[in-house]
A and B are shown apart, each in its own frame.
Chain A
Amino acid sequence: MSVEARERRQPWILLSPALTAIGLLLFVPLFFIVVYSFWLRTATGADQAGFYLDNWNEALTDPFYRDILFSTLRIAAITTVACAVLGYPAAYFIARSKGNKALLLLLLMLPFWISYIIRTMSWINILGVSGAVNWVLLNLGITSEPIQMLYNEPTVILGLVHFLLPFMVLNVYVALEGVDVSLEDAACSLGSTRWQAFREVTLPLSLPGLAAGGLLCFVLSAGTYITPLVLGGPTDAMYANLVFEAIITQLNWPLGSALSLMLLGVLGALVLVYNHYLGMGQLMKGLG
């Protein structure tokens, strides 16, 4: 075998364990979900194999699913913007800090050591009627009665931002680390202010990180179901809650499969749009 042929084969040999794992653990189950989506659930809860378009018809034409999908995308977009606004300064601060960078990164990673559900539930002790915020407000005499802060859409977004912020900070931090600090100094020496230097040099160079973090935050928040369940009110369900309900509560695996594929399709389409405008190369750059 020639050296060129061996070099051509080498990446595939190295990639083969990962590709096998992805094939077995992602594509094979996905194939089953696709097959399931064309089956029907009978009145007794058993599945009827075959090729029926009923679930797809329902998932695509019923305004109930469409409205909740749009609502989910809206919540995911707000969460992503909030993460970007809050995460960028934090990432900038860490990237530009001297000496205690490792400690700051450790603090950033610290929440991952605690279960996501526990972190979400911790807001009940903070914002609840008997929570810390109400306790302070009542004891300072600012309010005479506890304020109802939980179980609405803002608290769902708050919970999501709490969960996703570290993902945004890490992505932006990696991008900022790759930006040469002397470029800002060079811009200043040529007459720009610090703000102009940041806006026209650092910010554009760190955009791939921001975009990668944004994509990650958006996809993860669009697929969440724990946060609206714990922190949402009666009408704050997101799309993943519908999938859960179809599969677990109604035991309607075929409809649940169609709904989950629809979410996958919408998020996949958004990734494609992203790729069209920004390119996956930029994303990879952002991911370091």
Chain B
Amino acid sequence: MDNTKRYERMRERYLNGDLDRRKFLGLIGAAGLAYGVHTPFARQALAATEQVRFDGWGGVVSEAFRKYAFDPYTKKTGIKVVDGTFGGGDEYLSRVKASQEGEYNIAHLSGVFDYARYANLGLNSTLNEANIPNLKFVIPKLTDVFRSVTDGTLSCVPYDYGTTGIAYNRKYISDEEAKEKGAKLLIDAAYKGKIGGWSDWRTRVWYASLQTDQDPNDATDMDAVWEAVRTNRDLLLKYWQSGAELMSLLAEEEIYVTEGWSGRIYALQEQGKDIGYIDPPNGFGWQECLFVIKGSPMEACEELLNFMLAPETSIAVAEGQNYPPALDPTKVNLGDKIPTLPAFDPTGKLDGLTFANPEYWNSHEQAWSKTFGRIQKGY
């Protein structure tokens, strides 16, 4: 029954004497109040279907998205894309947790680990894959790992992948030495005060597992791992917080060796810095995805994801951020630059990369993040 009908019935009851004047006016007033309170929110809700919010890392990646995906998408659908940025995955998750449902829609998230965290917090959605035909170009191994977290469904589409390997200044450390020492280069006392490290507990535990010759996805001697984290801490100049800081420390020769993100190190090499990069055996492989948050306008988001997965968009973004796209190189011609990027796998099978097992890492998240927080501060 619509509002006009309701009003007509009530008026009829009033005219028939079933409702007294005071009650009739009271009900009209209450309806007016309810309409007044509801309308601004209803308008906002309607507007949400006319726009989609995307949050990512900013910089060249955002520019590529704007040019190759957002603008053509808006032109075709009339749906505006509101482009936001964040400094880190943890900070963004806090923002999403504090927000109203539907406020944030699509995010460029890191790793399966983050995907599982969003799913655990009930922030995941279910994509209708039929609305994303470009998903067929994606490397199957990358989607399978997400499906395993959310019972066969997808809340995201994989977008790119890379590694966290060891970056070193060739002026002080030779390729041979780096290859020989591998992860143990980060606990080599000869470089005390010239070693950097990311202040991320997962990376620290991963590399400490390698330094103690353990499987990073199944370390059994955690005492040895924490001891290696402490050893590394005592040799560090500092824990870096962002990719920009990592690049600055390496470029300014404040540090000679650190673990680093493949794309960022490639960017330094492109700038002419003599920085070497290796992925030690069982080096840290990861992938990024475009995640649709619960409460988002699904069809609009799915269409946008399809635009973002289009080969021309994916390739442009990949070339901008120096990480290989999630597109299968056996199905899509990825051009000249992408095959030269670190971590690129021409077979599309990604057998050479070790990804974090989300089940293993999530089950230890609470305890290990806390322990690392203490060790980091000298305990």
Decide if B373 touches A250 in the complex (CB within 8 Å): yes
Decide if B120 touches A234 in the complex (CB within 8 Å): no
Bound: A130/B237 CA distance, A? 15
- A-contacting 9-mer, from B87-95, B156-164, B324-332, B340-348: B87-95
Closest residue of B by beta carbon distance from A229: B241
**A248 contacts across to B, CB distance below 8 A:** 88, 90-91, 94
**B122 contacts across to A, CB distance below 8 A:** 46
A237 close to B (CB within 8 Å): yes
Pick from B121, B370, B377: contact of A68, CB below 8 A. Answer: B377
Decide if A130 touches B252 in the complex (CB within 8 Å): yes
CB-CB contacts below 8 Å: B223-279 with A? 233-234, 236-239, 241, 248, 252-254
B143 close to A (CB within 8 Å): no
Give a binary string over A30-63; 1 marks a CB under 8 Å from any B CB, 0 the rest: 0000000000010111100000000000000000
Decide if B373 touches A245 in the complex (CB within 8 Å): yes
Give a binary string over B101-130; 1 marks a CB under 8 Å from any A CB, 0 the rest: 000000000000000010011100000000
Decide if A232 touches B253 in the complex (CB within 8 Å): no
Decide if A150 touches B94 in the complex (CB within 8 Å): no
A251 close to B (CB within 8 Å): yes
CB-CB contacts below 8 Å: B332-379 with A? 365-366, 369-370, 373-374, 376-379
A89 close to B (CB within 8 Å): no
A247 close to B (CB within 8 Å): yes
Bound: A83/B93 CA distance, A? 38
Chain A: minimal CB distance from B85 (Å): 16
Chain A: minimal CB distance from B110 (Å): 14
Closest residue of A by beta carbon distance from B120: A44
A144 close to B (CB within 8 Å): no
**A68 contacts across to B, CB distance below 8 A:** 377
Bound: A234/B229 CA distance, A? 12
Bound: A124/B376 CA distance, A? 22
Decide if A249 touches B373 in the complex (CB within 8 Å): yes
Give a binary string over A71-100; 1 marks a CB under 8 Å from any B CB, 0 the rest: 000000000000000000000000000000
B297 close to A (CB within 8 Å): no
Chain B: minimal CB distance from A39 (Å): 13
Give the B interface residue count (CB, 8 A). Answer: 33
Decide if A234 touches B376 in the complex (CB within 8 Å): yes
Decide if B254 touches A251 in the complex (CB within 8 Å): no
Bound: A151/B199 CA distance, A? 14
Give a binary string over A150-161; 1 marks a CB under 8 Å from any B CB, 0 the rest: 110000000000
**A124 contacts across to B, CB distance below 8 A:** 248, 252
Give a binary string over A252-281; 1 marks a CB under 8 Å from any B CB, 0 the rest: 110000000000000000000000000000
**A232 contacts across to B, CB distance below 8 A:** 238
Chain B: minimal CB distance from A133 (Å): 14
Bound: A129/B239 CA distance, A? 17
A178 close to B (CB within 8 Å): no
**A64 contacts across to B, CB distance below 8 A:** 374, 377, 379
B140 close to A (CB within 8 Å): no
Closest residue of A by beta carbon distance from B200: A249
Decide if A44 touches B252 in the complex (CB within 8 Å): no
- Known contacts A43-B366, A130-B252; is A247 also within 8 Å of B376 by CB? no
- Known contacts A248-B91, A250-B369; is A234 also within 8 Å of B254 by CB? no
Bound: A170/B254 CA distance, A? 36
A23 close to B (CB within 8 Å): no
Bound: A43/B374 CA distance, A? 19
Bound: A241/B120 CA distance, A? 26
Give a binary string over A221-253; 1 marks a CB under 8 Å from any B CB, 0 the rest: 000000001001111010000100101111111
Decide if A129 touches B254 in the complex (CB within 8 Å): yes
B97 close to A (CB within 8 Å): yes
B193 close to A (CB within 8 Å): yes
Closest residue of A by beta carbon distance from B95: A248
Decide if A129 touches B121 in the complex (CB within 8 Å): no
Bound: A68/B376 CA distance, A? 12
A148 close to B (CB within 8 Å): yes
Decide if A234 touches B378 in the complex (CB within 8 Å): yes
Pick from A129, A148, A229, A247: contact of B94, CB below 8 A. Answer: A247
Query: Given A46-B120, A68-B377, 17 more contacts at CB 8 Å?
Result: A43-B365, A43-B366, A44-B120, A44-B121, A45-B121, A46-B121, A130-B252, A150-B254, A229-B241, A235-B233, A235-B378, A237-B376, A248-B88, A248-B90, A248-B94, A251-B90, A251-B94
28 A-B residue pairs with CB within 8 Å = A43-B365, A43-B366, A45-B365, A46-B122, A64-B374, A64-B379, A68-B377, A124-B252, A128-B252, A129-B252, A129-B253, A130-B253, A130-B254, A148-B237, A151-B237, A229-B241, A233-B237, A234-B233, A234-B236, A234-B239, A234-B376, A234-B378, A235-B376, A237-B377, A250-B369, A250-B370, A251-B117, A252-B366
Report the 6 A-B pairs with minimum CB-CB distance, sorted nearest first.
A235-B378, A44-B120, A151-B238, A237-B377, A130-B252, A234-B236
